Amino acid sequence: MKNREKRQVTRAHTLLHGGDYNPDQWLNRPDVLADDLKLMKLAHTNTYSVGIFAWSALEPEEGVYTFEWLDDIFETIYENGGNIILATPSGARPAWLSQTYPEVLRTNEMRLKQLQGARHNHCFSSPVYREKTQHINKLLADRYGNHPALVMWHVSNEYSGECHCELCQEAFKEWIKDTYHNDLTALNDAWWGPFWSHTFNDWSQIQSPSPIGEEAVHGLNLDWLRFVTDQTIDFYKNEIVPLRELTPSIPITTNFMADTDDLIPYQGLDYGKFAEHIDVITWDGYPAWHNDRESTADLAMKVGFIDDLYRSLKQQPFLLLESTPSAVNWHTVNKAKRPHMHLLSSMQMIAHGSDSIMYFQWRKSRGSSEKFHGAVVDHDNSSENRVFKDVAEVGQTLEKLSDVAGTTRPADVGILYDWENNWALKDAQGYGLETKRYTQTVQEHYRTFWEKDIPVDVIMKEQDFSSYKLLVVPMLYLLSLDTISRLKEFVANGGTLVSTYITGIVTEHDLTYLGGWPQDLQDIFGMNPLETDTLYPSDRNKVRYSGKEYELKEYASILEVNQAKIEGEYLEDFYANTPAITSHSFEKGKTYYIGGRLEQAFHEEFYGDIIKELGLSPIFPVKHEKGVSVQARQSETEDIIFVMNFTEEEQVVIFDKPVWDKLNDEELVGEVTVEKYGIKVVAVPLTN
C-alpha cells in the first residue's frame, strides 16, 4: 500500500454521494471496473461503501487472505477523488466457516438449526464467530486504517434476527440473572410467575419464548426482546474492538432500517439503545413512492418522521446509507420513481438532517436475488438512461449545497417514541388486536407539525425533555415510575405535555398498575381515566371540541375529572356528554389529555390552538397549500430552507421576504411556482 496524505473530506466538510460498491462481484471483468471509475465521475458521486458481503473474496479459505483486489480498489478510488466507507464482512459468512464451525449457524424459534446460506443468520453468542469476525476486522484495520480514502467504518450490515441455540439460551439466563440481581423472587414477581403455574425455582428452567413452548408470559417476551437488543449490541461491540484500538479517529456506524410496507422504524431492535454505541446514525430508506394506498404527501410525512427520529437519536446529522435511485425488487409491485421524484426524495432526506445520499447499489448484480434491484449503473452500462441522469442531477445539486453538511435542525417540539412500548403494546392481549398501531398513531400526531412546517425532534424517554416547549406522548402504554417522574418535572418547570388514551397502563415489567392510574399522572393531568372502550371498525362516535364535531373511532377513554378543565365531550354511546378532552395547569406548566382516537381534522384544530398558545412557528414562514413541505437546516450564518412539492401538480408558494435560490443563484420574492415533485432550496441570512 502506498503512503498517501490524508484528504480532509469528512461529513463536516461535504455531503456524501455514492453507494454500495461490490467490485468483488466483478474481479474477472477488469473492463467493468474501469468503466466504474469513468461512470463515478459522470454521476457526480464521491463516496463508496465497500466490502459489505466480501468475506469469501477476502478469505476464500480459512487463513488464506486475498486483499490485493481491495488494495487496488482503495488506490483507484482515491486517485479518482473518491472516499471509502469500509465495511466489516460479518453480515454474510463464507461457506467454509459454516462447514468447519457449525455452531455459528443460527437456531430459529422452533429450535431448528438453520443451514448455510442467505445472510444475517449467524449466532450472536458464538465464541467462534466472535473470534473470526474480530480477527478479519483487525486485518482490515491494520491494512487500511491509515489510508487517506477511508472516512468511516460500516460495521456488518442491517443487524437483525434472533438465535435460540444453547449458547444463546445460556447467555439469556445469565442476562436474566444479572437483570434481576440473582433474585428468583424478583424474577417471578416481574413475570407474574404464579399465573398458569409458571413460577421458576431454578435459573436452569428459563428458556426463550417459542411457539412450541412458552410465548404468553408478557414479562418473558419483553425481556427476551431486550436481551436480543443487548446481545446484538454486545456482538457489535466485540466486532469494533480492533477498529477502536487501531483507528480511533475513524467514525463507526452500522446501518439502521425501517419496515417498508407501512414505513415505520424497524422493530427487531431497540435503536434508541443501540444509538449510544455508534458514532453516526445511518439508515437505509426505501419508501414505496407512488403506491396505491396513500398519497405522495402521506408517505412523505412518514419519511419525515423516521428521519426526525433517527436524527434525534444523537441530536446530530445522520447519513442515508442506502436508498434506491428508482425501483427496488422486494415490494409486491416494484414501481419506478417518476420524473423528478428522485431529486425530491433525496432533498427531503437532506432537509430533515441527512449529510448524504447513498444507494444500494452502485452497479446491478448480474445474477442472484438482487439482479433487478435499483442501481446507479444498470445492466446496459450506460450513462444516458433516465435513472443515471437522475443520479447525476442529485450529485450536481449536492455539490451546490455542500455548506449544508453539519448544520442543525433546532426544534421546540418533542414527540416521544419508544420501542419497548411498542413491543409490550403489540403483545397485550387486549384492546383491538389489529387496531393498536402505536407507531402509526405517533406519526398521526406528528403529521400536523410536519404540515405546518414546525420542526420536531422525535425522542426517546431517556433523553432530556427540558429544552422543549411542547412534549407529545401518545399511547405510552408501558410507562415506568421513573419516566412518570421526569414527565412531572417537565410540566412543573413550565413545559406543556400532551398525552392520550392507553397511556400509563403498565410498568417497565409489563405489570399493570394497581389502584388505578398512577397518582403522579392524576396530579399533573387533573383527571383519571377509568375505562377504555374499544370499538369495532364499523363503530363511530363523535367528540365536540371548540364548537366543532369530530369523528372518533377505535378507542375512547371514560374520564373522571378532578381539577382538570373539560375541553371536549363525547356525543354518543353510554358516555355521551362526558369529558373526552381535558386540560390542566400544573405548577408552571400545562397538560392536555386526548381520550379517544380522533380524525386528523381534530389534530389540526387541537395542535393549531397549542401552536398559537405557545408561539411555535416555522424557522422561516412560507405560504403554501397542503402537500408542500417546508423544512429548514440552520448554520451559524443562515437558514437553509427546503421547499418541496409532494403533490401531483405544480404549486404556488409565497415568500414574503426576499430569499436567495441556492440552486439557481437568483433572488426570489413573492409568488414562486414549484413544479410537480419540484423543489426550491433558498438561503435566509440570520439576523442578530
Quick one: DSSP state of residue 338?
P
Identify whether 11 is part of a domain.
Answer: no
CATH of the domain at 237: 3.20.20.80
Span 239-258, average pLDDT: 97
Identify whether 619 is part of a domain.
Answer: no
**In which element (H, E) is residue 524 found?**
helix 519-525
Q: Which residues lie across from 632 on neighbouring strands?
A: 641
Which whole-number Å values give the CA distances from 638 to 10, 93, 406, 634, 680, in the listed order?
Answer: 21, 48, 13, 6, 16
13 pLDDT band, cuts 50/70/90, is low
Residues 545 and 583 in one domain: yes
Residues 117 and 96 in one domain: yes
Q: Which residues contact 549 (CB under 8 A, 6 or more apart)?
A: 542, 543, 571
3-state secondary structure 194-247: CHHHCCCCCHHHCCCCCCCCCCCCHHHHHHHHHHHHHHHHHHHHHHCHHHHHHC
Which residue, among 328, 341, 412, has the nearest Cα to 372 in the 3D structure? 328
How many domains does the structure of the chain reveal?
4
pLDDT digits (tens, 9 = 90+) for 154-208: 999 999 999 999 999 999 999 999 999 999 999 999 999 999 999 999 999 999 9
What amino acid is encoded at 365 in this protein? S
Length of the chain: 688
Catalytic residue, candidates 59, 239, 322, 420: 322
Residue that terminates a domain, selected from 357, 378, 404: 404
Residues 202 and 241 in one domain: no
Span 287-302, average pLDDT: 96
Cα separation, 273 vs 604, whole angstroms: 32
Span 303-320, average pLDDT: 98
CATH of the domain at 645: 2.60.40.1180
Residue that terminates a domain, selected from 382, 404, 426: 404
Catalytic residue, candidates 158, 444, 554, 569: 158
Residues 573 and 668 in one domain: no
Identify whether 621 is part of a domain.
Answer: no
Supply the pLDDT for residue 145: 97
Residues 362 and 438 in one domain: no
The grid cell for 63 is 487463513
Residue that terminates a domain, selected from 196, 225, 254: 225
pLDDT digits (tens, 9 = 90+) for 425-438: 999 999 999 999 99
Cα separation, 480 vs 509, whole angstroms: 9
Task: State in Å, rounded, how far the first CA of the chain is from the last one.
Answer: 51
The grid cell for 644 is 418541496
pTM, full prediction: 0.96
Residues 259 and 363 in one domain: yes
262 pLDDT band, cuts 50/70/90, is confident
For the chain, give the mean pLDDT. Answer: 95
Span 651-671, average pLDDT: 97
Whether 158 is catalytic is: yes
Q: Which domain holds residue 578?
A: 413-614
Residues 529 and 547 in one domain: yes
Residues 433 and 566 in one domain: yes
Span 439-466, average pLDDT: 97
Span 272-278, average pLDDT: 98
Identify whether 8 is part of a domain.
Answer: no
Q: Is pLDDT above 70 for 503?
A: yes
Whether 322 is catalytic is: yes
3 pLDDT band, cuts 50/70/90, is very low
Supply the pLDDT for residue 198: 92
Identify whether 9 is part of a domain.
Answer: no
CATH of the domain at 449: 3.40.50.880
Which residue, among 436, 451, 474, has the nearest Cα to 295 in the 3D structure? 451
Span 118-133, average pLDDT: 94
Supply the pLDDT for residue 179: 97
Supply the pLDDT for residue 688: 60
Span 75-85, average pLDDT: 96
- Which residue is listed with cell 412450541? 212
Q: What are phi and psi of 494, to 5 degrees?
A: 115, 0
Q: Is pLDDT above 60 for 578?
A: yes
- Please, are residues 18 and 358 in contact by the beta-carbon 8 Å criterion? yes
Supply the pLDDT for residue 12: 43
9 pLDDT band, cuts 50/70/90, is very low
640: left (phi over 0), alpha (psi -120 to 50) or beta: beta
What amino acid is encoded at 213 in this protein? G
Radius of gyration of the chain (CA): 26
